[in-house]
Structures are given as structure tokens and as C-alpha cells.
């Protein structure tokens, strides 16, 4: 219980740090670019939104401390103001909420898939060591992990989108279609998601394979695995029940954490494919100097990471009997 | 005394609770090996050089790295054209004069790739070194000083660790309206040091109570001496790993920032080449090489660092090395 | 009871016991493939084991005794491998068989007890689950039989059946060790190989565990190979003792004979290093020097560099095992050709 409280305290602290960063950064930058933009777009903002933005960026006549407090208050009540330039006048909250499902769908599902596949490949790769394949595969996996997302995305667009014309590579769905739960629409969504998902899968799976392989190798050297062999247990049972079950524990923590990075992690993929998720929005906001939107997204991404870490701590506690109510 | 470990042994160097975590970033998560156990200073250096030579991955990685360094140092020797000069025919395919063709603006792509090596390498080395130095100072200080100092430093490290690096980079870079090489180094360093600081602190903690330190303390050496002369050389392998990891991150992060236009688009670098290529829709206009080649260079340089890192991991943890089969010597069934 | 479980608590009848030896090891050698070359950890070891015999194997760290044990059980993993020799268990050759081929014999006839139960038991499975795995792998599938037998073996080592539901980390050190021994007896094997099972325990627990092992052995009639560095501990329980040094057998014979009259200078040195509590006070003597580097062992007798009775011959030729009454000694001092005495 005390552990949980400490963790929550840590998260609160981190959130606060992110908020404060968000508050300080625009004020540090030379030239107050924020002020210029806001002055330009004053007209399109509603009065409440204007107040929020002013508190955030230091316009107006309050001193810095009261600006800070009103800023914190606004965040606590989810008042992020309106978008300045991306979709002028539309509330930031609305824009963000529209984008979240796309990112969660694409990146979330692909991360889960990459983890499952990568872990399985890692398990088998560790179990079958010593072959000729074993000296070539790991370096290949290593190289897979350094491929930049965005570049791979471009290459896949070149091959499958432009040259072969198998898949579309812009946006989340064909904009001439009406969104809804019709088969046609869903099919179209999936069609658009295949290339970005594939890109993400290839670039992320290498890490999972390598981490699982390495923990498996260390685990396979453990005495209890040797004991399992001595008991004459069938190979598959040893591999899964004795080795993998122990090896996977540290990797699950990593997995849970990486889920947190889902929200912010695929920024470049969304950018390359014009896929309108959270990452794409962040870059659009950056390019348009849409500060309120930018800040809200940054906070969202940070909060998502924290939630994921919390979940991963809980998962570890539940899965490892040694931490579960240990004496 | 030569003691033989029982076959397999029970567990390699302690995992100290750190696991390799794929961190969100521009390349789908990088595999960062957990810290290996430290070995004392000079012996580890000799062992390292011997190990590098015998390890295939390390040799390839080192070879690539040296190649890139040479290219960065002497670009004029290899490419004879001015990379920024927009004087050639536009969007030409590869030919004898232009090995990789020209860009939509009439620049020689090959020259750009060659000259673009230096900024990338500068950033990689710059971030690698400074992030490692900062991480070392903070990590070791936290471990050695303990108490409230440790608490405060660790808290700062952890908070920075959790805040997602790439989004933060984007936000900072956007406020700066584009970043030059120097700024990129500073900003990427600021975002990267916390990961290795945690590893270094963990290792320093485990070393803190070892006998050779106790001996130094009893001899009356001052804390600073102990930290610099005794602890740090023992952590060489981890420091090298930290350098490689941070250099790798730097290459990918900086290229990504440049790609989305947050670097200085007027410098010639692999990332900026990709930015312009994408802007000019190089694929549609048939200038595939403009996109393919700089990306391949990023992969190659990244692979150099990653392979070296992986090889070091194998060297530190012998259990991970490729298994040498004794099939030839195995005894066949008798009777 | 199904035949897989043997006769439960009853010792095997003479008809069931293997006629002749349980284990025959001939010229067994094990090598490790290391970066700098190969290391021969076990060098041409040969011995026989009779049914229900308690054999103690002693020696310093690195002498190869644990390697020998794992070689017999076919549990070596790369870089270690058996490079020559044979291991015949109950008439069946074991070397070179795959895990699948060995599965029929493993645990049912030959089981293993390791040094640290904390490491040898799967940390994420309960004790009963691990017992169940072993039994299921050998054809015992009925839930009742499994539960009964599990409770039974635990009772044999003095542990209440309620601990079946525990995870290894929830038991005390001594209990863990004993449950590991219980697990080894699940299928009433003929041979139980033990690798320093008492080293992780305190002195009192060590003693009581040894007594328990001996009792079980006499009750159920299985043979034991017991590896340890603590010669005095094992000598109270063993029928024969094997002293290993640098991968070779240096002395091998009935415990009483070996203890009362050690022949090999190394054995003598070991005995003199453990003064008797009740005997007269004698100055403590150790054995100077350290065991040889097996990557480049000394020529001839491997103990020669440290031997107080070394002769020139010792560094030129390798001594064989010579008979002294019922004991075998690898020392030129006892060479039959009489040239041993300078």
C-alpha cells in the first residue's frame, strides 16, 4: 500500500513537472512567439478560451504567480482553450478527442501484435540456439531496430503505394466515404491502416525479439531449467512453462511501459502517412504555431505514459508471486 | 586459484532490476541491453580490445564507424561537387557525373550524402559524450553521496526519464523555430542523459560496498579521489555502452527532427535531405534515390552503434555469445 | 499403485533391484570449449556403483566433481560436453542420447538433487505443480494419485502437506531443500545424484538433513552419489569415498579404510586440515599452493607441484590407480612395480 502511494506521488510530481515545463518554455523562448500568434488570432477565440490562453502564455496584467495558478486551475478542469490556427475556434479538447481513437487503434493494436509476435520469436530463437541461423539472426534483428520509422514508411509507400498500388497511403480513410460502422467503411479504414501498421510492426518487433531472447538465454542457464530437464519433462513444457514464464516477467514491465509511449510514439508514422491521430495533430500544431493545441497534446502524451507505468507496476506485482504479499 | 564454474552456472551478472525497455522514439524502439557487471579498469580495456577483434558484430560495427568518420573528416576527397550548389540539371537520374542523380533543385545527391555525414557524426559524438558525462556525474554522485542528495538527484532523473523524449524534443524545437547543430546537440543531450544516469547509478551503488573501495577508504583517500580513480575506471564497460546508446539515439532523434523541418533546413545533412526530398515529393517524381540513400546511411550509422553495443553486451555477458557447437567431438552412442 | 511410482514406501525387492551394478562409468572425460582452448574438467574417470550404495565424492572447488555429476545425468550444456567414455545406467548406455530418449529413464530411475533449492525450484510455480509436472511426464495422470503421492513424499521428509500450495520463496531454506529431496523420490528411483545439497544450510540443519537422507536411503533402497567438499560430513554416511583432484580420481575406497588410513598425500593433507575436536592438539597444516590451471595442467601427476612427498618420477609420468587393500590410489608411492619408493 505504501508502495502504491509513493508511486502515485511520483506520478503527481512528474505531471506537475510536465505542466510547469509547459508553462515555462514559451516564456523562455526569445521573441515571445506565442504572443505574436495569439495577437493575430485573437478574433477567432471565444472569451473563455481567450482567458485560458492568456493565463497560459502570460498575456494580460496578472503577475506570473497568479498566471501560474490560473493555468494550473485551467488544466485541472480540463480547460485547454481553443485551437488558434489548426482549426480556429474549435475547442482543443474536441480536436484531441477526435484524434485519440485513431492513434489508439493503429498504434495500440500494432504494439500489442509486435509484442506478442516478437516475444514468441524471441522465445524460439533462444531455445534453438547453436544453429547457423543463430549467428545471423540476432544482428539482423539489431539492424531492424535502428531503421527510422519515417524512412521505412516512405520506402513502403514507394513500393506498395506508388509502384504496386496495392494500398492507399494517405489519411485514415477515404474522405469521400461517410464514417460509420458499415463494412465498407471499416474495410476502408483497415485498408488505410495496413501500411502504417506494417511499418510500425517491422521497426518495433526487433526490440521485443531481442529483449525476450536475451532474458530467455539468461533464464535457460538457471538451475531450475536444468532441473526440469533432469525430470524428463517434454521440451515444449520446459521452454514455455519453466523458461518463458520466468523470462517474460521483466519484459512485461517493458511492454506495459511501451503502451504508454503508444500515444506519442508513432508521431512520425502518422506524419508520413497523413494519418490523423494524436501524433499527426501534434506536428500540425507545431507547424502552425498552434500553441494551445500543442500544449494540450504534450500533457496528454505525458499523462498516458504515467498511466502506463502505473499499470505496469500493478501487472508486475500481480504476476510475480514473489512480490505478491511476500512475507 | 583456477576455479571451474559448474556448467551453466546459476545466473550471469546480476540484472539489478533494470530491463531493456524499448523507448518510444523515432525508430520503433531501440534495444538497449541491460548493464553488464563491471570489471576492474585496465584489465577490462585489454579484454575489450581482444574481444572486439574476435567478435564479428563488433568488427563490422567498428569498421562502419571508422568508414563514416573518414568520410566526415575528408568529404572533399570523395565528392568533388559542392553539395549546396544548385547548378546542375534538375532531377537527373544516376549517371557518371552524378552517381546518385540530382535533387529537384539541381544539387548533386552524392555530394550531399558525403558532406552530410559530418553534421550527423558531430551530433552523434557530441551527444554521446556529453550525455554520458552528465549521466556519469549525476549517477555516480547520487550513488556515492547517498541520502537526500541521492533522493533529489534520482527524482530529477526519474522525472526526466518518464517525460516522453521525442514529443518534448518537438515542443522545444518548435519554440526555437528550428535548431542548428549545436542546439540539436544540447537539446538531445538534455533529453537523453537520464536513461543512462539510472543505469550508472545502479552500478555505482552495487560497487559502493566492494572491498577495493573499502580499502581505499581505510587508506584515507578522499571521496573525489575514490570516485575518479577507483570507481569510474571500473565502470568502463557501462560508460562505453552509454556512449554508444546515446550516440545512436542522437542520430535517430536528430534526423527525425530535421525530417519534420525542425532542424535547420539550410544545412546539408541526411535528415534535411529527407526533409527536402519529402517536400518535393521525390517518390512521385521518380527521384527515389534522394530518399533511399540518406535513409540507408542513417540505418548504416545506427547499425554501427547498435552492433557495437550488442557486441559489448555479449562480451560482458558470455552466456549471450553464439553457442559454439562441439558436435565434432561428441561421443556417439556406444553399445 | 501404478508401476510408475514403484512400490511407494517399500524398498525394492531383490528381484526388482538391478542385478549387478546400477551404474558403470568408464573413462569418462568432459571438456569445456573456452576462448583460449579446451579445458578438460573430468579426465578419464571410471567407477562402478552397486545398488543401494552410498558413494561420497569429495574434493576442492574446481576439481570436477559437480561436472562429473552432471555428466552422469546427461545434463551438461554447451560449452561443456562429454568427449569420451561411457556411462551405463542399468545396462543402458546414456551418452549421446537425446533428451527425448532419456526422458523415459529420467526421474523414474535416476533423479537429481541440486545445491540450492532456491535456484533449482521454479519460482513461479507451486510445489505441488512442480511435483505434478514430474509425475505427469511419466504417465501418472490421475489427480488422486498425484495428490496422494505428493503428500506422501513430503511426509517422508517431515513436511506437512499443506505446504504443497506454497511457492518456493515461502518456505524456509531447510524446508526447500527437503522438498527438493522429496521431489527426487517421487517415482522411487534407483539412483539419486546429489550435488552439495547441504552446503547452503547451517551446520545443525546439515546434520539433520544427512541423517534423513541416510534413513530414506536405507528404507527405500536407492543408491546415492553425494558430492560435497565437506569430507568429514559425508564420511559418516557413505559406504565408499572418492577423492577427486583436478579432474581425476586420486583415491577411491571404502570410507572406513580411507579414513583410518589415507594413502594419497592429498587425502592425507585434507584430513590433517580438519583437526579432530576430541583429539590431541596438533598444529594446523594446510596444503600449500593452489589447484592447477586446467587450461594447461602440469605434466605427470597433477598434485606434484604441491605434494610433500614428490619424486622426480611424478613430474614425468602420470600415475595410474594402484591397489592398496580395497582402495585405489593414484600415487607412485604405491605403484605395484615397487619403483614407487625412492
Domain check: are B290 and B257 in the same one? no
pLDDT-derived band at B280, boundaries 50, 70, 90: confident
Integer Cα distance of A309 and B234 in angstroms:
32
**Closest to B27 (Cβ–Cβ): which among A145, A217, A226?**
A145
Assess A173–B contact: CB distance below 8 Å, yes or no: no
Domain check: are B170 and B244 in the same one? yes
Residues B75-96 have a mean pLDDT of 74
**Closest to B333 (Cβ–Cβ): which among C75, C93, C292?**
C93
Number of neighbouring beta carbons within 10 Å of residue B59? 15
Integer Cα distance of A292 and A92 in angstroms:
7
pLDDT at C197: 87
Cα nearest neighbour of A248 on chain C: C124
pLDDT of residue B105 exceeding 90: no
**Closest to C78 (Cβ–Cβ): which among B326, B332, B333?**
B326
pLDDT at B302: 92
Selection from B132, B127, B87 nearest residue B111 by Cα: B87
pLDDT of residue B79 exceeding 80: no
Contact between A278 and A264 (Cβ < 8 Å): yes
Helices (H) and strands (E) in chain B, counts: 14, 0
CATH fold of the domain at A100-326? MetI-like fold (1.10.3720)
Q: Which long-range contacts (CB under 8 A, 24 or more apart) does B155-160 make?
A: B155/A10, B155/A13, B157/B194, B157/B197, B157/B198, B157/B201, B158/A10, B158/A14, B158/B194, B158/B198, B159/A10, B159/A13, B159/A14, B159/A17, B160/B191, B160/B193, B160/B194
CATH hierarchy code of domain C19-238: 3.40.50.300
Q: How far is A131 from chain B (nearest CA, A)?
A: 8
Domain check: are B245 and B306 in the same one? no
Question: In A, residues 112-151, which contact C (CB 8 Å cutoff)?
Answer: 130
pLDDT-derived band at A43, boundaries 50, 70, 90: low
A48 Cα distance to chain centroid: 31
Domain check: are B98 and B143 in the same one? no
Cα nearest neighbour of A238 on chain C: C133
Residue B322 neighbours by CB under 8 Å, 6+ apart: A129, A130, A134, A135
Tally the domains of chain B.
2
Q: How far is B224 from chain C (nearest CA, A)?
A: 38
Domain check: are B93 and B175 in the same one? no
pLDDT of residue A29 exceeding 70: no
Q: Could you identify the residue written with the cell 537520464? A: B194
Domain check: are B258 and B142 in the same one? yes
Q: What percent of chain A has pLDDT over 90?
A: 4
Domain ranges of chain A: 2-76, 100-326
Domain check: are B203 and B301 in the same one? no
**Beta strand spans in A57-186 (E):** none
**Chain A residues closer than 8 Å to C121 by CB:** 224, 227
Kindly state whether residue B261 falls inside one of the protein's structural domains. Answer: yes
What CATH number is given to the structural domain containing B193?
A: 1.10.3720.10
pLDDT at B23: 41
Cα nearest neighbour of B8 on chain A: A221
Integer Cα distance of C180 and C174 in angstroms:
10
Query: Three cell numbers at B224?
Result: 573525489
A279 Cα distance to chain centroid: 9
The Cβ-side half-sphere exposure at C205, using a 13 Å CA radius, reads 14
Assess A240–B contact: CB distance below 8 Å, yes or no: no
Contact between B303 and A180 (Cβ < 8 Å): no
Domain ranges of chain C: 19-238
Assess B49–C contact: CB distance below 8 Å, yes or no: no
What is the secondary structure of C59-108 as a DSSP string? Answer: --TTSSHHHHHHHHTT---TTEEEEEEEEEETTEE-TT--HHHHTTTBTT
pLDDT of residue A284 exceeding 80: yes
Between A129 and C155, the higher pLDDT residue: C155
**Closest to A233 (Cβ–Cβ): which among C78, C123, C133?**
C133
pLDDT at A42: 66
pLDDT at B196: 86
Best probe of the C interface among B3, B4, B54, by most C CBs < 10 A, is B4
pLDDT-derived band at B78, boundaries 50, 70, 90: confident
Contact between B157 and B190 (Cβ < 8 Å): no
Tally the residues of chain B.
335
Cα nearest neighbour of B31 on chain A: A207
Between A290 and C254, the higher pLDDT residue: C254
Domain check: are B164 and B252 in the same one? yes
A231-240, A318-327, B214-223 — which is least confidently predicted?
A318-327
| Average pLDDT value for chain A | 79
Domain check: are B72 and B93 in the same one? yes
Domain check: are B145 and B249 in the same one? yes
pLDDT at C12: 44
Best probe of the B interface among A7, A126, A132, A145, by most B CBs < 10 A, is A145
Residues A164-177 have a mean pLDDT of 68
Best probe of the C interface among B7, B54, B328, by most C CBs < 10 A, is B7
Cis peptide before B156 (omega within 30 of 0): no
Exposed/middle/buried for residue B69 (C-beta within 10 Å: 0-12, 13-18, 19+): middle
Asked if the Cβ–Cβ distance from A33 to B175 is below 8 Å, we say: yes
pLDDT at A119: 92
Question: Using CB atoms, which chains have 3+ pairs under 8 A with C?
Answer: A, B
pLDDT at C341: 41
A111-115, B299-303, C177-181, C295-299 — which is least confidently predicted?
C295-299
Q: Write the ipTM.
A: 0.80
Q: pLDDT tens, B236-274?
A: 778 888 899 999 989 998 898 888 888 888 888 899 888
Q: Which helix (H) or strand (E) holds A310?
A: helix A291-319
Gyration radius of chain B over CA positions: 23
pLDDT-derived band at B155, boundaries 50, 70, 90: confident
pLDDT at B38: 41
pLDDT at B309: 86
Best probe of the A interface among C69, C80, C124, by most A CBs < 10 A, is C124
pLDDT at A118: 92
Question: In C, residues 110-139, which contact A (CB 8 Å cutoff)?
Answer: 111-112, 114-116, 119-125, 133-134, 137-138
Domain check: are B127 and B231 in the same one? yes
Q: pLDDT tens, B111-151?
A: 888 888 999 999 999 999 999 999 988 888 888 777 888 88
What is the secondary structure of B27-92 as a DSSP string? Answer: SS----PPPPPP--HHHHHHHHHHHHHH-HHHHHHHHHHHHHHHHHH-HHHH--S-TT---SPTT-
Q: How far is C341 from chain B (nearest CA, A)?
A: 31
pLDDT at B286: 67
Integer Cα distance of A290 and A294 in angstroms:
6
Between A41 and C14, the higher pLDDT residue: A41
Assess A111–B contact: CB distance below 8 Å, yes or no: no
pLDDT-derived band at A178, boundaries 50, 70, 90: low
Structural domain harbouring B151: 121-266
Count Cβ–Cβ pairs < 8 Å, chain A vs chain B.
Answer: 228
pLDDT at A177: 65
Integer Cα distance of B93 and C231 in angstroms:
82
Assess C29–B contact: CB distance below 8 Å, yes or no: no
Assess A230–C contact: CB distance below 8 Å, yes or no: yes
Integer Cα distance of C103 and C108 in angstroms:
9
Integer Cα distance of A232 and C135 in angstroms:
10
Asked if the Cβ–Cβ distance from A302 to B162 is below 8 Å, we say: yes
**Chain A residues closer than 8 Å to B168 by CB:** 21, 298
pLDDT at C241: 93
Asked if the Cβ–Cβ distance from A13 to B248 is below 8 Å, we say: no
Between A100 and A322, the higher pLDDT residue: A100
Collapsing DSSP to helix, strand or coil, C240 comes out as strand
Integer Cα distance of C87 and C75 in angstroms:
13
Q: What percent of chain B has pLDDT over 70?
A: 71
Kindly state whether residue B323 falls inside one of the protein's structural domains. Answer: no
Q: Which helix (H) or strand (E) holds C112?
A: strand C110-113
Assess A198–B contact: CB distance below 8 Å, yes or no: no
The residue among B266, B282, B301 that closes a domain is: B266
Cα nearest neighbour of B2 on chain C: C293
Kindly state whether residue B43 falls inside one of the protein's structural domains. Answer: no
Max avg pLDDT among A57-66, A76-85, A233-242: A233-242
Contact between C124 and C88 (Cβ < 8 Å): no
Cα nearest neighbour of C39 on chain B: B4
**Chain B residues closer than 8 Å to A148 by CB:** 26-27, 252, 255-256, 259, 295, 298-299, 302
Gyration radius of chain A over CA positions: 24
Assess B322–C contact: CB distance below 8 Å, yes or no: no
Residues A261-284 have a mean pLDDT of 81
Between A128 and C55, the higher pLDDT residue: C55
pLDDT-derived band at A74, boundaries 50, 70, 90: confident
Asked if the Cβ–Cβ distance from C123 to A246 is below 8 Å, we say: yes
Residues A205-209 have a mean pLDDT of 89
pLDDT at B35: 43
pLDDT of residue B220 exceeding 90: no
**Chain A residues closer than 8 Å to C105 by CB:** 232
Integer Cα distance of A211 and A216 in angstroms:
8
Contact between C228 and C58 (Cβ < 8 Å): yes
Domain check: are B231 and B171 in the same one? yes
| Average pLDDT value for chain B | 74
Q: Residues of chain C whose pLDDT is less than 50?
A: 1-4, 6-15, 339-342
Amino acid at each position: 500500500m505504501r508502495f502504491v502511494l509513493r508511486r502515485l506521488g511520483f506520478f503527481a510530481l512528474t505531471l506537475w513537472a510536465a505542466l510547469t515545463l509547459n508553462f515555462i518554455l514559451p516564456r523562455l523562448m526569445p521573441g515571445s512567439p506565442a504572443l505574436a500568434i495569439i495577437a493575430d488570432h485573437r478574433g477567432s477565440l471565444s472569451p473563455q478560451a481567450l482567458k485560458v490562453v492568456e493565463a497560459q502564455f502570460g498575456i494580460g496584467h496578472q503577475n506570473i504567480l497568479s498566471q501560474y495558478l490560473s493555468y494550473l486551475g485551467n488544466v485541472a478542469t480540463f480547460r485547454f482553450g481553443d485551437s488558434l490556427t489548426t482549426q480556429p475556434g474549435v475547442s482543443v479538447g474536441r480536436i484531441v478527442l477526435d484524434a485519440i481513437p485513431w492513434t489508439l487503434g493503429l498504434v495500440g493494436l500494432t504494439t500489442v501484435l509486435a509484442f506478442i509476435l516478437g516475444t514468441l520469436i524471441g522465445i524460439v530463437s533462444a531455445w534453438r540456439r547453436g544453429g547457423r541461423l543463430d549467428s545471423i539472426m540476432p544482428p539482423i534483428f539489431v539492424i531492424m531496430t535502428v531503421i527510422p520509422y519515417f524512412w521505412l514508411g516512405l520506402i513502403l509507400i514507394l513500393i506498395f503505394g506508388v509502384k504496386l498500388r496495392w494500398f492507399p497511403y494517405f489519411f485514415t480513410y477515404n474522405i469521400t466515404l461517410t464514417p460509420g460502422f458499415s463494412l465498407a467503411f471499416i474495410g476502408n479504414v483497415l485498408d488505410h491502416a495496413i501500411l502504417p501498421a506494417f511499418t510500425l510492426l517491422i521497426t518495433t518487433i526487433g526490440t521485443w525479439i531481442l529483449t525476450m531472447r536475451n532474458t530467455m538465454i539468461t533464464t535457460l542457464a538457471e538451475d531450475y531449467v536444468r532441473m526440469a530437464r533432469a525430470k524428463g519433462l517434454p521440451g515444449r513444457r520446459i521452454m514455455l512453462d519453466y523458461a518463458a514464464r520466468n523470462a517474460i516477467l521483466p519484459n512485461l514491465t517493458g511492454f506495459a511501459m511501451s503502451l504508454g509511449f503508444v500515444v506519442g510514439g508513432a508521431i512520425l508514422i502518422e506524419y508520413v502517412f497523413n494519418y490523423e491521430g494524436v501524433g499527426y495533430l501534434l506536428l500540425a500544431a507545431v507547424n502552425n504555431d498552434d500553441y494551445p493545441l500543442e500544449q494540450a497534446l504534450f500533457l496528454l502524451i505525458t499523462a498516458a505514459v504515467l498511466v502506463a507505468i502505473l499499470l505496469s507496476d500493478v501487472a508486475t506485482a500481480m504476476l510475480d508471486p514473489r512480490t505478491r504479499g511476500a512475507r | 586459484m583456477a576455479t571451474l564454474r559448474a556448467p551453466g552456472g546459476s545466473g550471469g551478472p546480476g540484472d539489478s532490476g533494470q530491463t531493456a525497455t524499448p523507448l518510444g522514439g523515432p525508430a520503433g524502439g531501440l534495444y538497449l541491453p541491460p548493464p553488464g557487471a563491471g570489471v576492474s579498469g585496465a584489465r577490462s580495456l585489454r579484454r575489450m580490445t581482444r574481444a572486439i577483434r574476435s567478435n564479428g558484430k563488433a568488427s563490422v560495427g567498428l569498421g562502419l564507424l571508422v568508414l563514416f568518420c573518414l568520410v566526415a573528416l575528408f568529404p572533399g576527397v570523395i565528392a568533388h561537387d559542392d553539395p549546396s550548389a544548385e547548378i546542375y540539371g534538375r532531377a537527373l537520374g544516376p549517371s557518371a557525373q552524378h552517381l546518385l542523380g540530382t535533387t529537384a533543385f539541381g544539387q548533386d545527391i552524392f555530394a550531399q550524402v558525403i558532406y552530410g555525414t559530418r553534421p550527423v557524426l558531430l551530433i552523434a559524438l557530441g551527444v554521446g559524450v556529453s550525455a554520458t558525462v552528465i549521466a556519469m556525474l549525476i549517477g555516480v554522485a547520487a550513488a556515492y553521496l547517498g541520502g537526500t542528495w541521492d533522493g533529489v538527484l534520482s527524482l530529477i532523473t526519474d522525472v526526466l526519464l518518464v517525460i516522453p523524449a521525442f514529443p518534448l524534443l518537438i515542443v522545444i524545437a518548435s519554440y526555437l523555430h528550428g535548431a542548428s547543430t549545436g542546439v540539436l546537440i544540447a537539446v538531445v543531450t538534455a533529453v537523453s542523459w537520464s536513461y543512462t544516469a539510472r543505469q550508472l547509478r545502479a552500478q555505482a551503488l552495487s560497487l559502493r560496498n566492494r572491498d577495493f573501495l573499502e580499502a581505499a577508504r581505510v587508506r584515507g583517500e578522499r571521496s573525489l579521489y575514490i570516485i575518479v580513480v577507483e570507481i569510474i575506471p571500473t565502470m568502463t564497460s557501462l560508460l562505453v555502452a552509454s556512449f554508444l546508446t546515446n550516440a545512436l539515439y542522437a542520430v535517430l532523434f536528430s534526423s527525425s527532427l530535421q525530417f519534420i523541418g525542425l532542424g535547420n533546413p539550410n544545412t546539408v545533412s541526411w535528415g534535411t535531405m529527407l526533409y527536402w526530398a519529402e517536400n518535393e515529393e521525390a517518390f512521385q517524381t521518380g527521384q527515389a534515390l534522394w530518399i533511399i540513400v540518406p535513409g540507408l546511411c542513417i540505418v548504416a550509422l545506427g547499425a554501427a552503434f547498435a552492433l557495437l553495443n550488442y557486441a559489448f553486451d555479449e562480451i560482458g555477458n558470455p552466456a549471450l555469445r553464439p553457442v559454439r557447437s562441439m558436435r565434432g567431438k561428441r561421443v556417439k552412442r556406444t553399445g | 499403485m501404478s508401476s510408475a511410482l514403484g512400490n511407494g514406501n517399500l524398498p525394492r525387492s531383490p528381484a526388482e533391484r538391478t542385478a549387478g551394478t546400477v551404474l558403470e562409468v568408464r573413462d569418462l572425460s568432459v571438456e569445456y570449449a573456452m576462448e583460449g582452448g579446451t579445458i578438460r574438467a573430468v579426465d578419464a574417470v571410471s567407477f562402478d556403483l552397486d545398488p543401494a550404495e552410498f558413494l561420497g565424492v569429495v574434493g576442492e572447488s574446481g576439481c570436477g566433481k559437480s561436472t562429473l555429476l552432471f555428466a552422469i545425468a546427461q545434463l551438461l550444456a554447451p560449452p561443456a560436453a562429454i568427449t569420451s567414455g561411457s556411462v551405463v545406467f542399468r545396462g543402458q548406455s546414456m551418452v549421446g542420447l537425446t533428451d527425448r530418449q532419456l526422458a523415459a529413464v529420467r526421474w523414474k530411475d535416476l533423479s537429481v538433487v541440486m545445491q540450492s533449492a532456491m535456484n533449482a525450484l521454479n519460482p513461479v510455480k507451486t510445489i505441488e505443480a512442480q511435483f505434478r509436472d514430474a509425475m505427469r511426464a511419466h504417465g501418472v495422470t490421475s489427480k488422486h494419485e498425484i495428490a496422494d503421492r505428493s503428500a506422501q513424499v513430503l511426509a517422508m521428509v517431515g513436511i506437512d502437506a499443506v505446504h504443497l500450495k506454497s511457492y518456493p520463496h515461502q518456505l524456509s531454506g531447510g524446508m526447500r531443500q527437503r522438498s527438493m529431496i522429496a521431489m527426487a523420490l517421487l517415482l522411487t528411483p534407483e539412483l539419486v545424484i546429489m550435488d552439495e545439497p547441504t552446503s547452503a544450510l547451517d551446520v545443525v540443519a546439515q546434520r539433520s538433513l544427512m541423517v534423513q537422507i541416510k534413513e530414506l536411503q536405507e528404507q527405500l533402497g536407492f543408491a546415492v552419489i553425494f558430492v560435497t567438499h565437506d569430507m568429514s560430513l559425508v564420511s559418516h554416511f557413505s559406504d565408499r569415498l572418492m577423492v577427486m583432484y583436478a579432474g581425476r580420481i586420486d583415491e577411491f575406497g571404502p570410507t572406513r579404510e580411507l579414513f583410518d588410513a589415507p594413502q594419497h598425500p592429498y587425502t592425507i593433507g585434507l584430513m590433517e586440515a580438519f583437526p579432530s575436536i576430541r583429539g590431541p592438539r596438533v598444529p594446523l597444516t594446510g596444503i600449500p599452493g593452489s589447484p592447477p590451471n586446467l587450461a594447461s595442467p602440469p605434466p605427470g601427476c597433477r598434485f606434484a607441484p604441491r605434494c610433500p612427498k614428490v619424486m622426480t618420477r611424478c613430474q614425468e609420468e602420470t600415475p595410474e590407480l594402484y591397489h592398496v587393500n580395497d582402495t585405489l590410489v593414484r600415487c607412485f608411492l604405491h605403484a605395484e612395480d615397487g619403483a614407487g619408493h625412492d
